Amino acid sequence: MTGRKKQSVKAPRVWQRMLSGRRLDLAHPSPMDVEIEDIAHGLARVARWNGQTKGRNAFSVAEHSVIVEQICRKLDPAMSAKHRLMALLHDSPEYVIGDMISPFKALLGEGYKDIEGRLQEAIHIRFGLPPVTPVRLKKSIKKADLICAWFEATQLAGFEKDEANRFFVVPPDGVRLRLTPKSATDAQEAFLARFHEIMTEIGTP
């Protein structure tokens, strides 16, 4: 009786091809494969709230990121340019893995966090930042993130203020926003413009 030949199992593809031509390996992301144009393009086309927001356009992660950096500046005018760049890039891994809502992230557990963390480190290194965001700064960015989320929740996602107050951070006095979701092209351009402004402050052309 002749034995059957074992079929070779093809390894799954774990890289993403970018419009820049780069191939980003999700298992072992290299800073050399990270381009800001790819990040801006991707984030401008990733919807916050799984797209469940009011308006003609989805509210993108790119627009959210620009606003979070703006809130960080408002809360701490002395924040350094490098720290503000980390605020702008705080959700940057989502240009590859998308914006998963918090309940789904909780279900996925540590595996998701590990992939997200490796991508964040590669992005930071690519732009001359420390691989890991300092704890105190991370808390400041998270506060700004949750303030932005409060505005998104109440203006775009259908939350009543009392409900939003339980899940997010109530905006302090002096922080007021009126959100109008931009087109993907406009959100991408705004993200890139803010990135280059901060890089100029840092001293990188």
| CA distance to 10, 96, 98, 132, 198, per residue, from 14 (Å) | 12, 11, 15, 23, 32
In a domain, 6, yes or no: no
Q: In the structure encoding, which two tokens stand for residue 65, read together? A: 């990121």
Residues in the chain: 205
In a domain, 121, yes or no: yes
In a domain, 205, yes or no: no
Tell me which residue range forms the domain holding 165: 31-199
In a domain, 44, yes or no: yes
In a domain, 162, yes or no: yes
Q: Provide the domain count of the chain.
A: 1
pLDDT, position 8: 66
pLDDT per position as a tens digit, 63-92: 999 999 999 999 999 999 999 999 999 999
In a domain, 182, yes or no: yes
CATH number, domain containing residue 138: 1.10.3210.10
3-state helix vs strand vs coil in the chain, percent to 5:
55, 5, 40
> Average pLDDT, stretch 176-196?
98
Reference 40, options 65, 57, 73; nearest CA is: 65
Q: pLDDT over 90 for what percent of the chain?
A: 80
In a domain, 195, yes or no: yes
Beta strands (DSSP E) in 12-153 are: 15-17, 23-25
Distance CA 47, CA 64 (A): 10
Q: What is the DSSP string of 9-39?
A: PPPPP-EEE-TTS-EEESSS--GGG--HHHH
Reference 83, options 135, 30, 37; nearest CA is: 135
Residue 110 pLDDT greater than 90, yes or no: no
Residue 204 pLDDT greater than 70, yes or no: no
pLDDT, position 135: 97
Residue 172, burial from CB neighbour count under 10 angstroms (0-12, 13-18, 19+)? exposed
In a domain, 152, yes or no: yes
